[in-house]
Chains A and B, each alone.
Chain A
C-alpha cells in the first residue's frame, strides 16, 4: 500500500467555551475520495482549517506522505505550497474583482514584473470551460449567482490542487447537473492519484463518489469506515449517536382550502421587469406551499417579490385580502417573514451575538423605541436555540463564531421569532445536518397545522414532497404549473421542471 497523503493524529483544538476537536485522527490515502461527516458543529470545518493552517491547534501532529517529521501549516498559502488546496464552506473570494482575477489572485502569471492579463483571461476561460460553466470571465464575480461563485471557488482550487483537494460543502448551492460535472472532475482527479476530502450533508452524494467515511461527533472521532461497510442508516446513527429514521413520513394531510377561504397571501399578475414574469399565487392558511425549479428558474425571485425585497413592476399583492405596500418593513409588520437563501450575504450580522441576531427582526417589528427587555430577549433566543438545537458556547457568542449550519439555524430562528402568519423559507435546510433537517421539516408542517402559511423553496424535491401540500413549478423565470394531491410525485415535478410532458397550454 502506498504511503498515506496525510495523517493527522490526536488533534485537539479549543475555542473559548468549546472543544471543537478532541484528539481526532484522520488519514487520507492517495486516489481516494474521503467523506468527512458529522452534525452541525461536530468539527468538520475546524479539522480542515487546522490542516490548512487557517486555524492554529493546541495538540496533535500532522504528517505528510511517509515522513515522520510532523509539519504545521501556518497559513493556507503555506498549505498550498505543500499541494493542499481548499474550498472553504464560506466562499471567500473578492466579489468586486472579475472572475478571471479571482481565479488567479495571489498567483498571477507574470513576465518580468508585469501581470500577463491576456494569459490570465485565456487560462480562466479554459478553467471555467473545464468545470462546465460557460460565463464571461471578465465580469465581476458579484454579478453571478451563489452557485456560479461556488463553481469559481471550486475551479480555482482544482486548478491549484497538486496532491490534496478539500471541498467543504461545495454542493450546498449547486443544482444536479453542476453536481454531476463536479463529481466527474473529482473522479478524474482521483484517477490522477490525488486525495480528496469531501464534506457534505447530502448522504446520497456521499454514496455516489466517496470511498471512505470519517465520522465526527461533538469534536470526537466516531469512527472511520469503508463505504461498503456502512449502510445509510448506520451512517446516520454514527453521526447522531442514536438510531434515527430521517425518511419517515411527516406530512399531515391538511384540510383542502375552500373557495370562501381568504388566502393569507394573494398575488395577481405580480412581475418584475427583467426579472420574474407575471405570476398568480394564492397561499391559504394552514398550508405548506412549495416552489420547485432549477437554480435561476425564478423561485427566489418569486419569494423576493412577494416579501417586497425586490419591488415589482406589475400586478398587485394582498395579505389577508388587504393590499400591501411593497417593502420589507411593511411586509414584516403585516406578518410576513422571509428567510433568504444566502445566509452570509443577507442573513448573518456577523459581529452581533446569537441573541441579537435572533431578536433583530422581532425588535424591528415592535419598533426601535420599544426595546424588548433583556430577560425577554434571552427567553426568546433560548427558546429557539433549544427548538432548533443551535450549538453555541453561549447566547452572547458572536454569530460568526458558530459553525455554518448553526448560523443557518440562527437565521431561521430570527424569522420564527417574529411569529409570522406567512413564512417564506428559501433553502432553509442548506448546510443543516440530517437530524435537524427533519426537525425543521416537521416544524414547518406543525406550524402550518397551527394555521400559519409557509412558502417553502428547496432544491431537493424529496424534501418538498415530504412537507408541501401543493407545489408550484418555475421554469425560465415564469410559473409554469402547479401540482397538488395525487399529482405530487418526484417524477411529475421533475417532468414539469424540465418542461417535458406537462407543457403549458
Chain B
C-alpha cells in the first residue's frame, strides 16, 4: 500500500500513465479495424529497414523529442515558453538548403543537384542560424526583460517569413541521395539500408543523452532550476541568471535547428510554409505532459521525452481513425485541458469540497426522507 502510494507519487508516474493510455487507445483502434491487437505490435524487417507502428511512432516523434528537450530547459529557467521553435526549424532548414545550392538554386529550378558547399557546412549553418535565433530570443528575455511568450512571438511570426524569402517563395528540393539519410535510413551507394533503425531516432537519442550527461556531470542542471525558482536568491549566490537564460534560449534554438534538419531531410527539401508548423505547441504540450510545471523551476528531462512520444502516439491514433489534419488541433486542445486540470494544485481541495457537498446533500436527503 505504502509502496503503491510511493509509486503514484513518483514524478514520472503521471507521464507514463498518459503514455500507456494513449498506446492502449492505439491498440483498441487496431483491434476495431483489424480484429486483433497484433498488427500494432508487429515489427518487420523489409529491405533492411525496421517497420511497424511502434517504430513509426518513435521515428516520427524524433523532432518533437528534440524540441521538447530545448523547451524544457527554457521553461525551467525563464518560466516561459519559446513559441518560435517551429518557425526556427523552417528558417534554419531554408538557410542550410540555400547554402548547399549556393548561387545555383534559382538556375536549377530550385533543385539542388549537387552540393555547392560541403554538406557538413550546410548542417553547421543550420545549427548556427538556430543558435542565433535563440540568442535573439534570449537577449529579449534576459536583457530587455520581455515576457518570453511575447519576445519569441517576434520570430514566431517573422521567422517563417524570412524562411520564405530565403527560399524565394518556392519549395526547394535537394536531389542528392545522402541528404535524405538523416530523416530516413543511412544507405550505401546502391540504395540499400545500412542501418535498420531510422536515423532520426539516433539523433534524438543523442541529443537527449548529451543533454542529460551535461546536466548530470555539471552543476548546470541545479543552476538552471535555481534561477527559475528564485532569481533573487540565485543572484546572491553568484549565479549570473541573465547568462543562464541566454544560453538556455541559444540551446533551444539549436535544438530547433536540429529538428529542422531532420524535417527537411525527411521530405528532401524545404517547404517554408509547412516545415515545423504547429510543432511549438506540441513541444510545450510535451513539457507539460512530462509533469513539468510551465511556471518554471524543477524539471524532468525524461518526463518531457515521454511526453513527446505520447503526443506522437496520440497523433498516430487520431490519424488512424481518420481525423483530418485540420481537426487534429481540436483533439490536442482537449488533451491539453485535461492535463492542465489534472495537474492543477487546486484540484484536490476542490474535489474534496465537492465530495463534502455531495455527502452533505446525501445526508440531508436521508434525513428529509427518513423520519417522515
One of B91-99, B105-113, B222-230 at the interface: B222-230
Q: Within 8 Å CB of A332, what residues of B?
A: 237-238
User: CB distance B352 to A414 under 8 Å?
Assistant: no
One of B62-70, B141-149, B213-221, B330-338 at the interface: B213-221
User: CB distance B222 to A309 under 8 Å?
Assistant: no
Q: Within 8 Å CB of B353, what residues of A?
A: 74-75
Q: Is B183 an interface residue (CB 8 A)?
A: no
Q: For chain A residues 337-381, which have a beta carbon within 8 Å of chain B?
A: 338, 340, 345-352, 356, 360-361, 363-365, 368-369, 371-372
User: CB distance B225 to A329 under 8 Å?
Assistant: no
User: CB distance B352 to A364 under 8 Å?
Assistant: no
Q: Is A405 an interface residue (CB 8 A)?
A: no
User: CB distance A352 to B225 under 8 Å?
Assistant: yes
Q: Is B192 an interface residue (CB 8 A)?
A: no
User: CB distance A349 to B233 under 8 Å?
Assistant: yes
Q: Within 8 Å CB of B217, what residues of A?
A: 371
| Distance in angstroms between the alpha carbons of A495 and B197 in the assembled complex | 82
| Distance in angstroms between the alpha carbons of A363 and B222 in the assembled complex | 10
Q: Within 8 Å CB of A298, what residues of B?
A: none
* A351-B225, A368-B223 known; A328 vs B235 contact (CB < 8 Å): yes
Selected A-B contacts with CB under 8 Å, 25 pairs = A74-B349, A75-B349, A75-B353, A307-B236, A309-B236, A328-B236, A329-B238, A332-B238, A340-B236, A345-B232, A346-B236, A347-B233, A349-B225, A349-B229, A351-B229, A351-B297, A356-B222, A360-B237, A364-B219, A364-B223, A364-B239, A365-B238, A368-B223, A371-B217, A414-B237
Q: Within 8 Å CB of B240, what residues of A?
A: 329
| Distance in angstroms between the alpha carbons of A365 and B352 in the assembled complex | 47
| Distance in angstroms between the alpha carbons of A331 and B218 in the assembled complex | 22
User: CB distance B222 to A360 under 8 Å?
Assistant: yes
Digit string of B291-314 for contact with A (CB within 8 Å is 1, else 0)? 000000110000000000000000
B222 to chain A, nearest CB (A): 6
Question: Knowing that A328-B236, A364-B239 are A-B contacts, what are 12 other residue pairs whose CB atoms are under 8 Å apart, sorted by A's residue number?
Answer: A75-B349, A75-B353, A307-B236, A328-B235, A338-B236, A345-B233, A346-B230, A350-B230, A350-B297, A363-B219, A364-B238, A371-B218
Q: For chain A residues 153-209, which have a beta carbon within 8 Å of chain B?
A: none
Q: How many residues of B contact A (CB 8 A)?
A: 25
Instruction: Look across to chain A and name the residue whose beta carbon is closest to the beta carbon of B234.
Output: A349
Instruction: Look across to chain B and name the residue whose beta carbon is closest to the beta carbon of A398.
Output: B298
Q: Within 8 Å CB of A466, what residues of B?
A: none
Instruction: Look across to chain B and name the residue whose beta carbon is closest to the beta carbon of A362.
Output: B237
Q: Is B52 an interface residue (CB 8 A)?
A: no
| Distance in angstroms between the alpha carbons of A340 and B220 in the assembled complex | 24
A57 to chain B, nearest CB (A): 13
| Distance in angstroms between the alpha carbons of A346 and B218 in the assembled complex | 24
Interface centre among B225, B232, B238 (most CB of A within 10 A): B238
Q: Within 8 Å CB of B239, what residues of A?
A: 329, 364
Residue numbers of A with Cβ under 8 A of B are 74-75, 307, 309, 328-329, 331-333, 338, 340, 345-352, 356, 360-361, 363-365, 368-369, 371-372, 414
User: CB distance B226 to A349 under 8 Å?
Assistant: yes
B244 to chain A, nearest CB (A): 9
| Distance in angstroms between the alpha carbons of A74 and B239 in the assembled complex | 41
Q: Within 8 Å CB of B169, what residues of A?
A: none
Digit string of B193-222 for contact with A (CB within 8 Å is 1, else 0)? 000000000000000000000000111101
Q: Within 8 Å CB of A328, what residues of B?
A: 235-238
Q: Is B356 an interface residue (CB 8 A)?
A: yes
Q: Within 8 Å CB of B225, what residues of A?
A: 349, 351-352
**Other-chain residue from A307, A331, A348 in contact with B233 (beta carbon distance below 8 A):** A348
| Distance in angstroms between the alpha carbons of A333 and B219 in the assembled complex | 17
Q: Within 8 Å CB of B236, what residues of A?
A: 307, 309, 328, 338, 340, 346
User: CB distance B233 to A368 under 8 Å?
Assistant: no
User: CB distance B238 to A348 under 8 Å?
Assistant: no
Digit string of B38-63 for contact with A (CB within 8 Å is 1, else 0)? 00000000000000000000000000
* A346-B236, A361-B238 known; A352 vs B226 contact (CB < 8 Å): yes
Q: For chain B residues 332-358, which have a beta carbon within 8 Å of chain A?
A: 349, 352-353, 356
Instruction: Look across to chain A and name the residue whose beta carbon is closest to the beta carbon of B355.
Output: A74
